[in-house]
Amino acid sequence: MFIDEAIIQVKAGDGGNGCCAFRREKYVPRGGPSGGDGGRGGDVILVASQHENTLLRYRFNPEHRAGRGRHGEGSNRTGRDGESIELPVPVGTQVYDADTGELICDLTEHGQRFVVARGGRGGRGNARFATPTNQAPTYCEKGQPGEFRRLRLVLKLLADVGLVGFPNAGKSTLISRISAARPKIADYPFTTLEPHLGVVRLDDGRSFVVADIPGLIEGAHRGAGLGTRFLRHIERTRLLAHLVDVSESSGRDPVHDFEVVMRELAEFSEELVRKPMIVVATKMDVAQDPARVEALRRAAAARGLPLYCISSVTGQGLEEFKRAVADRLDALRASATPTSARDQ
């Protein structure tokens, strides 16, 4: 089950109380206050892990509590610190405060750690308050409570290329042909109900990650079909590949499909429309009317977008498509690198 959002509650450990004690032993010349400090409470730490794929573990286990610090003891013995807990989350998880909506952190690298709730400080024992004028203090401090927070975890997949298009445009078939991903493929709409990632490797050693998301239909921004819930998974991508079915069997106009998806992307986020994009005409093996392809080519050219023609079934144009994507990604990475960093 792919779960990309969850709300959890985290409670850091409370600090232990300080101790109020006095040392009175036979043959010990210097007695006096000997109360130790309380231990510090444990923290709650989120850790980004590449071994986690979804937030499923937090959907049915929403409460997490770190250990509390032990109380101080006599003979100046400090209480033991509480045990911290680490919560693994997938790489690409954003953490929001569920009450205020504030973005707390964005975990984008494997091993990245962030303390979301800090443990309380332990209280001081009465030995800490002894002074020349107050040599026998009879008071101590209580430990401070640990932080409590309600968090909303949102997963945004990390990929280089995002595949968008109408249902049955050929996105799942394409990712299954160019990578080891094996999404469900069938001849009816919405066979893809959750995003899939695939790693594409070229013969020259280059590679990139592709994200396949469920198809969009007209009115998706208002909740039609599967809505735009999964579009956030391509917000981090460097490049979008817009797949359009140009075969007659679809019963739709490819130019209309192209414009509909572009509008739905704009309704979700203007940044998505401004992302670098290529247009891919799919199912060329069963496309009988060249005019449909040419009409799509003109529509893409009007937006300054290149068009590639492929057939995932026969393999037509797949190698050219992969090389074009890899070249475009190389150019985007180079343009994103500061000049000073390239000169070093």
**pLDDT on residue 288:** 80
Residue 76, helix vs strand vs coil:
coil
Distances, alpha carbon 253 to alpha carbons 273, 287, 314, in Å: 21, 12, 23
Which strand (E) or helix (H) includes residue 295?
helix 290-302
8 A C-beta contact, residue 126 and residue 59: no
Residue with tokens 């990604």: 329
**pLDDT on residue 269:** 79
**pLDDT on residue 58:** 92
Angle formed by the axes of helices 318-336 and 171-178, to 10°?
90
What's the CA angle centered on 260, arms 311 and 219, to 5 degrees? Answer: 125
**pLDDT on residue 189:** 47
Whole-angstrom Cα distance, residue 152 to residue 99? 9
**pLDDT on residue 320:** 92
Number of alpha carbons in the 13 Å side-chain half-sphere of residue 214: 18
pLDDT in single tens digits along all 344 residues of the chain? 567 789 999 999 999 999 999 988 777 777 789 999 999 999 999 999 988 888 889 988 999 999 999 999 998 999 999 999 999 999 889 999 999 999 999 998 999 999 999 999 999 999 999 998 898 899 999 999 999 999 999 988 778 898 888 888 888 888 888 887 665 554 544 455 567 778 888 888 888 888 887 767 666 555 554 456 677 777 888 899 999 988 887 778 899 989 988 888 888 878 878 889 999 999 888 888 888 889 999 999 999 999 999 988 888 989 999 999 999 999 988 886 554 444 44
Compute the residue count for the chain. 344
Q: Looking at domain 5-155, which of 1.10.357.10, 2.60.40.180, 2.70.210.12, 1.10.10.10 is its CATH number?
A: 2.70.210.12
C-alpha closest to that of 260 among 215, 217, 212: 217
**pLDDT on residue 40:** 96
276 phi, psi to nearest 5 deg: -55, 135
Tokens of 27: 């043959």
CATH of domain 161-343: 3.40.50.300
Residue 249, helix vs strand vs coil:
helix
C-alpha closest to that of 114 among 102, 122, 103, 106: 106
Tokens of 17: 């109380």
Give residue 168's Cα distance to chain centre.
27
Which strand (E) or helix (H) includes residue 282?
strand 277-282
The residue extents of the domains of the chain are 5-155, 161-343
Whole-angstrom Cα distance, residue 109 to residue 125? 42
Give residue 292's Cα distance to chain centre.
39
Whole-angstrom Cα distance, residue 214 to residue 194? 6
8 A C-beta contact, residue 59 and residue 73: no
Does the pTM exceed 0.85? Answer: no
8 A C-beta contact, residue 183 and residue 118: no
Q: Provide CB contacts within 8 A for 128, sequence distance 6+.
A: 18, 37, 140
Whole-angstrom Cα distance, residue 179 to residue 201? 7
Write the single-letter amino acid at 291: A
**pLDDT on residue 187:** 52
Write the single-letter amino acid at 242: H
Distances, alpha carbon 219 to alpha carbons 7, 258, 267, in Å: 28, 14, 10
Strands of the chain, DSSP E: 5-11, 22-23, 32-33, 44-49, 63-65, 85-90, 93-97, 103-107, 113-117, 148-155, 161-165, 196-201, 207-212, 239-245, 277-282, 307-309
157 phi, psi to nearest 5 deg: -60, 145
